[in-house]
Amino acid sequence: MTPPPEPSPRPRKTTQLRQLLTSPTLDFILEAHNGISARVVEEAGFKGIWASGLALSAQFGVRDNNEASWTQVVDMVEFMADVTGVPILLDGDTGYGNFNNMRRLVHKLEQRGVAGVCIEDKLFPKTNSFIDGERQELADIDEFCGKIAAGKDSQRDDDFCVVARVEAYIAGWDTTEALRRAEAYRQAGADAILIHSAWSRPDQILEFAREWAARAPLVIVPTKYYATPTALFREARINLVIWANHMIRSAVSAMQETARRIFEDESLIEVEDQVASVKEIFRLQGADELAEAERRYFLGSRRDARAIVLAASRGDGLADLTDDRPKVMLPVNGKPLLHRLVEACKRVHIDKVTVVAGYRAESIEAPGIERVVNTDYAATGELASLECARASFRDDMVVLYGDLMFRGYVLRSLVESEHPLTVVVDSQPPGHETSGAPDYAYCSAIDDRALWEQDVWLEHVSREASRDGRAADGRWIGMLRTRGEGRRWLTAALDRLLGRDDFATLSMRDLINELVAAGHPIRVIYVHGHWMDVNSLRDLEHAGQFTLGQR
């Protein structure tokens, strides 16, 4: 069987716009005024975008009187062009000056991926056509024709489009004047004519279209004669309809309602379900693409990263709940602790997770994990479990306890550490709720929360809250990271401890202290709360609350 043909690549945006203007079918483009609204317009199915001068001014909070500079406009339109694949027709007002400004405008628009520009035959600085239109002065025809010709002569892409907008009706002139201008602009090189009208009925437009007789593509903006059935535009052989300002207007209505509600309620409860989710914003921003690119380019060195999760113990403080499973498989808000941990690892691009099981090893499961078993879990300690995972050791490795819960940044800052060995220490004094036996950490300096990325090193870990008359600086939370030579130091320390008669009883504390004793620096990252471990029924209750603040 022959494979289906590859979909042909999309034509250039300029070519797409030219097709919209010249095809005999009626097409539609919708206003957008920034990157996210442009994406929304494209996703809705529109084949083009109108970068409206009114809407761009409004989103800056200024008037449609050339108060925003043309470079500010072009900067915003560039954001719009960057995030969309359909052509943008910029409402270029009067071209922001004379023929020379027009040349530079066209040049810059081409550079920034804008497919065409529409200029109107008024005077700079312009005023929106719907504000005292009849009092607005029109441009001199010859001068305007020169501007069109200058724009066309300076374009480098043959398909870039210059649309000439006739404001004769707006300024109170009749069809004869509108036609006279349109014909002059056509002859000057305009690719299409936009005929504008402020009437609530389409009479002017339809009369113009009849007399124009398709001499060049025709574009309309039915903002005022919006009640006209679209079929009439088809019959009149209009090529392109611009829905000119409906994204900014709908955004304003929605924002006004949301602001009013939040202000009145002093709460988000009534609006939360009415507004786009944060997830939806992330989607529109293309967050997934960045995550994928990170995997490809940025985290190349972490491709082989590994988490070793120590999960052999039953969790004696959890009574009957652990009859048939170890504590790491206990659900917190419906999801087992271990699953939460594996997800946290994935979020920092650690996709390979080795879990050392022991008690009820068969009940330990989580998507994508590798399970190794410490069959002698009842009679041995943490280092014996760690030893079971030795085949999984990697240079880039995090060792962590299976019953940990933490905010996302805790693990993220650990994996971002550049040091061969790093641990996380909580400098917050243990609260009453703390159960289990903390691993107190003694460090080279106390946590100075006023400092960013403080240079602190671990000196000792102990079950004792004070040592030689000195209080501990915090608690080691049960996370250790190795990088490069740090992994070799760790393996060598483990080897040395393996030679001891009491190896079966040794804990991670002993390994850390052995590393320190061997002169290996262990970097400390201080946190202030934002984690917990689960040792008791009360912890399990708190864990439910904790998940609400997770990520």
CA–CA–CA angle 102, 107, 112 (5° rounding): 120
User: Does 129 contact ligand SPV by CB under 6 A?
Assistant: yes
Q: Which of 64, 93, 191, 539 is catalytic?
A: 64
Q: Report yes or no: 419 and 521 within 8 Å, Cβ to Cβ.
A: yes
Output the smallest distance, CB 267 to Mg ion, in A: 39
Q: Report yes or no: 402 and 322 within 8 Å, Cβ to Cβ.
A: no
Output the smallest distance, CB 282 to Mg ion, in A: 32
- Residue 32's DSSP bridge partners are 51
User: Does 244 contact ligand SPV by CB under 6 A?
Assistant: yes
**Which residue, 53 or 217, is less far from Mg ion as judged by CB?**
53
Output the smallest distance, CB 101 to ligand SPV, in A: 18
- What mask of x and - would describe binding to Mg ion in positions 132 to 171, judged by CB under 5 A? ----------------------------------------
* Half-sphere CA count of 486, side-chain side, radius 13 A: 22
Output the smallest distance, CB 52 to Mg ion, in A: 6
Distance CA 95, CA 104 (A): 10
- Residue 119's DSSP bridge partners are 164
**Which residue, 35 or 53, is less far from Mg ion as judged by CB?**
53
φ/ψ (deg, to 5) at 528: -125, 85
Q: Residue 1, Cβ neighbours under 10 Å: how many?
A: 3
Distance CA 168, CA 175 (A): 8
DSSP letter at 505 equals: G
Output the smallest distance, CB 351 to ligand SPV, in A: 48
Which of the residues 35 through 54 are near Mg ion (CB under 5 A)?
53
**Which residue, 34 or 52, is less far from ligand SPV as judged by CB?**
52
**Which residue, 66 or 175, is less far from ligand SPV as judged by CB?**
66
Query: If you count them, how many residues does the chain have?
Result: 551
Q: How many residues bind ligand SPV (CB under 6 A)?
A: 10
Q: Which candidate, 438, 420, 421, places its Cα nearest to that of 429?
A: 438
**Which residue, 128 or 454, is less far from ligand SPV as judged by CB?**
128
φ/ψ (deg, to 5) at 401: -75, 145
Output the smallest distance, CB 289 to ligand SPV, in A: 31
Q: How many residues bind Mg ion (CB under 5 A)?
A: 2
User: Does 54 contact ligand SPV by CB under 6 A?
Assistant: yes
244 contact, one of Mg ion, ligand SPV, none, CB 5-8 Å limit per kind: ligand SPV
User: Does 52 contact ligand SPV by CB under 6 A?
Assistant: yes
Q: Which stretch binds ligand SPV (CB under 6 A): 46-54, 205-213, 334-342, 532-540?
A: 46-54
Residue 500 makes CB contacts below 8 A (sequence gap 6+) with 506
User: Does 166 contact ligand SPV by CB under 6 A?
Assistant: no
Q: Are strands 404-406 and 531-533 parallel, antiparallel or unpaired?
A: antiparallel
**Which residue, 242 or 361, is less far from Mg ion as judged by CB?**
242
**Which residue, 91 or 110, is less far from ligand SPV as judged by CB?**
91
Output the smallest distance, CB 91 to ligand SPV, in A: 5
Distance CA 210, CA 319 (A): 87
Q: At what angle do helices 35-44 and 246-265 cross, to 10 degrees?
A: 120
Q: Which residue is nearest to Mg ion (CB)?
A: 53
**Which residue, 53 or 478, is less far from Mg ion as judged by CB?**
53
354 contact, one of ligand SPV, Mg ion, none, CB 5-8 Å limit per kind: none
User: Does 223 contact ligand SPV by CB under 6 A?
Assistant: yes
- What mask of x and - would describe binding to ligand SPV in positions 88 to 107, judged by CB under 6 A? ---x----------------
Which of the residues 74 through 113 are near Mg ion (CB under 5 A)?
91
**Which residue, 93 or 110, is less far from ligand SPV as judged by CB?**
93
Q: Where are the beta strands (DSSP E) in 21-152?
A: 27-32, 49-51, 88-91, 116-120
Q: Which residue is nearest to ligand SPV (CB)?
A: 52
Q: Report yes or no: 22 and 229 within 8 Å, Cβ to Cβ.
A: no
Residue 421 makes CB contacts below 8 A (sequence gap 6+) with 480, 481, 482, 483, 486, 489, 490, 515, 520, 521, 522, 523
14 contact, one of Mg ion, ligand SPV, none, CB 5-8 Å limit per kind: none
Q: Which candidate, 104, 42, 105, places its Cα nearest to that of 73?
A: 105
Output the smallest distance, CB 241 to ligand SPV, in A: 12
- List b or e across 309-330, with b for residues whose CB sees 16 or more CB atoms inside 10 angstroms: bbbbbbbebbeeebeebbbbbb
Output the smallest distance, CB 146 to ligand SPV, in A: 22
Structure tokens at 175: 């069809």
Which of the residues 14 through 43 are near ligand SPV (CB under 6 A)?
none
Output the smallest distance, CB 140 to ligand SPV, in A: 20
Separation in Å, CA 208 to CA 7, 166, 197, 220, 388: 40, 11, 10, 11, 85
**Which residue, 91 or 514, is less far from ligand SPV as judged by CB?**
91
Say how many Å lie between the first and final Cα of the chain, rounded.
48
Q: Which stretch binds ligand SPV (CB under 6 A): 51-59, 65-73, 251-259, 490-498?
A: 51-59
Active site residue 473: no
Q: Which candidate, 134, 135, 136, 157, places its Cα nearest to that of 93?
A: 136
User: Does 53 contact ligand SPV by CB under 6 A?
Assistant: yes
Residues that bind ligand SPV (CB under 6 A): 52-54, 91, 128-129, 221, 223, 244-245
Residues with active-site annotation = 64
The residues of the shown chain that bind Mg ion, judged by CB under 5 A, are: 53, 91
